[in-house]
Chain A
């Protein structure tokens, strides 16, 4: 397997909020491999955005990386203190695309100039050469009549087209890693399908490594080579898309998949998770999901589970994988997924 291009180890991110300290990321570890698409799935508040923002120094002013390391191109990004250090990474080597294309663009400048700004800053191109490059990039992200579009303002673009412009700005400086934070949540499904297609094409053409943040497991199945599941500030399961969808191990992954209406049986109640995610102001003991897990073991409340390997590429943080643990049956939809996969292999 390819070497990781970015490697985060035991990252802890804290925020200071009204005099109290909140631990948003609790010793999370993650590798991103060259040329792959890694999806990070989780509910709101699970820390998926915060975790990736720490890779480009974009945490809010009241947040900081408390410990751990983030290795990228031989540097430890977790040690970066000054904005000047980040300028050589953010945008240039690692770029990010956000959820809402309506607010990401400056309404008072033509989109051509907004992209050109990036091209001039990072490539040192000027004048006509810069403009030509911008037109080229616009064509690359699938915007028709790029020469005319160059001189138009954001309000003349639809939501999907605006997201294409935002992606154009992100790839304009040839980054190695592109992070997409829920890029299609604000878009209609038919437009979403087109943007997902575009992301795949660009990834091939620009040889990008992609981190894709989403809560939509359907989108994950579409884009991801590998999947990391986040809960309460920690990666609790990670593996190839097939491993996570067809052979999930952590009870939270089970619950997340089982509660999807696509896997439910019409007329019967859907599998649902009771309770709410834990309060991150407090210390979390044991497995963070234990209080919501009806089949939790005693040890789940006492001690935090380590990562257990399922295969060389698949690991999960659950005591169920300990050899001493009793055998717990996953919910029916998960068993159905497993059976379906075995049928597919046969």
Chain B
């Protein structure tokens, strides 16, 4: 499957995820979300807590059931009931890196077991020697020493533990990695190490990332394209630099304005915009998902879209 001459690895179409709590009405965590991820790129999903960004990642990897829409991986549908074979393939080819390395590693297991657990589950190794070689290779790939395999997680620092989390994903030889806030629980000086590692692995192995985060400064640095999500809906999607220079949707603009910049002079000049969802009057004109500029999509109704067009036009005259 391809679009604009580039291969689409993951295609999410009109995805809907519901959670049934006690109330009769289900809670809709993700409503009608569509996006696609090209092979080899880093696609960012940004939103605040409760926006549904993690739920989308979990739906792709089949942890959360979908209530509507479809998810395609290399052109094949992977949501709902799928064959055992395809399930196995998905389990192997799509991997996840979690937020908190302090909570996501089994404290009672040695690194050797933690890293090879996926291999055991899929029996994806010839013999014991092959498994050990794979563990060693995975640890080396993430910059850890092979002898760390016989240690327990508590012997490692936060950054090293996150590397173990990455090794555990890599050993499956995945094509697509969902990184759910992989650095937000880490210290500032360690974040750079893990970001560098993720970029290095991408270049070396041709990996594709779905990078889920709330921190826009990190997203700007690492992603190629970004989607901004709020209350279970994507409101804007564009190439990263385009989104940061030409934010259109009021939610995107408010989110961008709220990010603190490590520069006192710029910070003192900055004005924080507060997003008020009631600015949208969708009673007459219903909102549509519109490609307003090549590769730049935004959610809005007809009057809003023409206002955004005008905004883009004005911006061209900026110095």
Is B one of A's binding partners? Answer: yes
B214 at the interface (CB under 8 A from A): yes
- Is A272 in contact with B193, judged by CB distance below 8 angstroms? yes
Q: Give the total of B residues in contact with A, Cβ under 8 Å.
A: 39
Q: In the assembled complex, how far is the CB of residue B118 from the closest CB belonging to chain A, in whole angstroms?
A: 28
Among B189, B216, B217, B264, point to the contact of A272 (Cβ < 8 A).
Answer: B189
Q: Once bound together, how far apart are the Cα atoms of A276 and B161, in whole Å?
A: 13
B260's contact among A221, A255, A263, A341, by CB below 8 Å, is which? Answer: A221
With A189-B216, A217-B188, A256-B189 as known contacts, state yes or no: A262 contacts B196, CB within 8 Å.
no
| A245 sits at the interface (CB 8 A) | yes
Chain A residue nearest to B224 in the complex (CB): A266
- Say which residue of B215, B255, B260, B263 sits within 8 Å of A219 (CB atoms): B260
> Can you spell out 5 A-B residue pairs with CB atoms less than 8 angstroms apart?
A192-B260, A245-B263, A245-B264, A261-B217, A273-B192
Q: Is there an interface contact between A217 and B255, defined as CB atoms closer than 8 Å?
A: no
Which of B48, B257, B264 has the most CB atoms of chain A within a 10 A radius of its CB? B264
Closest to B266 in A: A221
Q: Mark A224-262, 1 if CB is under 8 A from B, else 0.
A: 100000000000000001100100000000011101111
Interface residues of B (CB under 8 A from A): 48-49, 157, 159, 187-193, 195-196, 199-200, 214-218, 220-222, 254-255, 257-267, 272, 274-275
How far does the Cβ of B161 sit from chain A's closest Cβ, in whole Å?
12
Residue of B48, B159, B218, B267 with highest tally of chain A CB at under 10 A = B267
Asked whether, in the complex, the Cβ of A193 is within 8 Å of the Cβ of B262, the reply is no
Q: How far is the CB of A225 from chain B (nearest CB, A)?
A: 10
Interface residues on A, range: 35 or more
B interface, over-half SS:
helix
Chain B minimum-CB-distance residue to A192: B258
Q: Are B157 and A270 in contact (CB under 8 A)?
A: no
In the assembly, what is the distance between CA of A216 and CA of B258, in Å? 14
CB-CB under 8 A from B222, the residues of chain A are 261
Establish whether residues A256 and B260, one from each chain, have CB atoms under 8 Å apart when the complex forms: no
B221 and A261 contacting across the interface, CB-CB below 8 Å: yes
What's the Cα separation between A260 and B272 when bound, in Å? 22
- Shortest CB distance A143–B (Å): 16
How many Å from the CB of A311 to the closest CB on chain B?
Answer: 16
**Does A33 interact with chain B (Cβ within 8 Å)?**
no
Q: Are B217 and A273 in contact (CB under 8 A)?
A: no
Out of B159, B192, B275, which one reaches A190, CB within 8 Å?
B275
Residues of B near A216 (CB, < 8 A) are 188, 260
Chain A: CB-nearest residue to B223: A266
